[in-house]
With several copies, the nearest count.
Chain A
């Protein structure tokens, strides 16, 4: 099997250039590629377009890349919980394309799956539909949406093997599998890297074909946004 192991995040993101389009997995701070984000901060790469469901919080996740002004455009569905983001958006410093979450997920899925366009009911009659083709199927209106692809996809998994097979945990799966398939180069960081043959093929969530580079991540903070308990 093909070995895709690289040493660390810095090496993995080494060829990400200014003005690249990136996809970053995660929902809120759950399942985000923490190591790759840190490496992007260190690299100082600028002018990034980031496709990610959320934009992190002020001082964690993609929020850190907003603080350093490395991001010029965000494509997201929900950007609450981030004051700096809202400020840059309202001031016009940051270009933002907001999409329905399901449309975002499906456009990314379409990018990986070679479907250049599809119809969805989400957003008909709203700002989201402006300029998009509306088409009626079986008496209901739908919008034509196009695929999304990225120069680099940065995904985070629980376990991964050297051939790039990935298994996610809990709700940290979210956008990661579709993004893994939609990146020209997909970089996976994992909590536990295992040799090929250690993962049950029947339990693999992302087949290795989608992953070009994989590394063992370190120092995961896994910050919780809404720590909520019964106690």
Chain B
């Protein structure tokens, strides 16, 4: 059965290693914070100028001067630090952030990603996404495998305006975990519980390599 958003977030949380600094995009990526395993020590970076994002505040803790990149009210932790936007993106471009998790509208078999614009329909802007994908060594995309109208979002080539080229390393969808190699395309690593390899092949337009027995995800 295909995963729900929480399932995707839980599976991505298993990719996280202790000691990492991590930037979480808006949407499913933000949910990942809730499922980081006990004992794994990480620091979450918010590109608007905070290292060490804490839990959401209680009502009497709410501070309008303390928000995350999704504009949600947050708290800080022991060891948090604050800084300006130039410093924040210096951190990102300089390769100091170990893992970036973000959503996407489309990912190509070369690791290109599109997630900021639908021409003529929706223009929210790229925010920090272009800086993140151009800079991070380790980028995991959280997304639905196919669109609501049933079209694959894992493509040979992105149809929407690009956010970054050859940058996505791994994709976790409601159906599968896939590695991306710019030279050979998607490689199927794991299936969602109850989802067949054939279903994933059907749902993937881009070049897909399936080798041997493909295990089911564990959480």
Give every chain B residue within 8 A of A161 (Cβ-Cβ). Answer: 79
Contact: B89 with A101, CB < 8 Å? yes
CA distance A78 to B95 in the complex (A): 23
* Of A1, A78, A207, A227, most B-chain CB atoms within 10 Å: A207
Contact: B79 with A124, CB < 8 Å? no
Give every chain B residue within 8 A of A64 (Cβ-Cβ). Answer: none
Interface: B81 (CB within 8 A): yes
Give every chain A residue within 8 A of B73 (Cβ-Cβ). Answer: 224, 226-229
CA distance A197 to B81 in the complex (A): 10
CA distance A170 to B53 in the complex (A): 12
Interface: B135 (CB within 8 A): yes
Q: Provide the A202-227 mask, 1 if CB < 8 A to any CB of B, else 0.
A: 10110111100000000000111111
Interface residues on B, range: 35 or more
Interface size on A, residues (CB 8 A): 81
Contact: A106 with B86, CB < 8 Å? yes
Number of A-B contacts (CB under 8 A): 256
Q: From DSSP, what is the main secondary structure of chain A's interface residues?
A: loop
Q: Which of A5-33 contact B (CB under 8 A)?
A: 27-31
Choice from B52, B117, B165 contacting A201 with Cβ under 8 Å: B52
Interface: A105 (CB within 8 A): yes
Give every chain A residue within 8 A of B48 (Cβ-Cβ). Answer: 27-28, 30, 171, 174
Contact: B162 with A81, CB < 8 Å? no
Interface: B207 (CB within 8 A): no
Contact: B94 with A171, CB < 8 Å? no
Contact: B82 with A122, CB < 8 Å? no
Interface: A133 (CB within 8 A): no
Residue of A nearest to B74 (CB): A228
Interface: B76 (CB within 8 A): yes
Q: Provide the A25-62 mask, 1 if CB < 8 A to any CB of B, else 0.
A: 00111110000000000000000000001000000000
CA distance A142 to B194 in the complex (A): 44
Give every chain A residue within 8 A of B19 (Cβ-Cβ). Answer: 2
Contact: A126 with B164, CB < 8 Å? yes
CA distance A28 to B83 in the complex (A): 16
Contact: B82 with A208, CB < 8 Å? no
Contact: A174 with B84, CB < 8 Å? yes
Q: A1-B43, A90-B123, A101-B127 in contact; A207/B81 too (CB < 8 A)?
A: yes
Interface: B35 (CB within 8 A): no
Contact: B65 with A81, CB < 8 Å? no
Interface: A176 (CB within 8 A): yes
CA distance A93 to B110 in the complex (A): 37
CA distance A176 to B161 in the complex (A): 30
Interface: A70 (CB within 8 A): no
Give every chain B residue within 8 A of A169 (Cβ-Cβ). Answer: 65
Q: A1-B52, A109-B86, A114-B90 are in contact. List 14 more A-B contacts (CB 8 A).
A: A2-B41, A76-B125, A77-B128, A80-B125, A104-B85, A120-B134, A124-B134, A171-B68, A176-B84, A197-B78, A201-B81, A224-B62, A226-B70, A229-B56
Selected A-B contacts with CB under 8 Å, 28 pairs: A2-B18, A28-B67, A76-B125, A78-B124, A79-B125, A101-B89, A101-B127, A102-B88, A102-B89, A102-B92, A105-B89, A113-B90, A114-B93, A114-B95, A120-B134, A121-B93, A123-B130, A125-B164, A170-B50, A170-B82, A171-B49, A171-B65, A171-B66, A171-B68, A208-B81, A209-B91, A210-B96, A231-B59
Instruction: Please give the residue numbers on chain B whose beta carbons come within 8 Å of chain A beta carbons, in ascending order.
Output: 18-19, 21, 41-43, 45-52, 55-59, 61-68, 70-74, 76-97, 112, 117, 120, 122-131, 134-135, 161-165
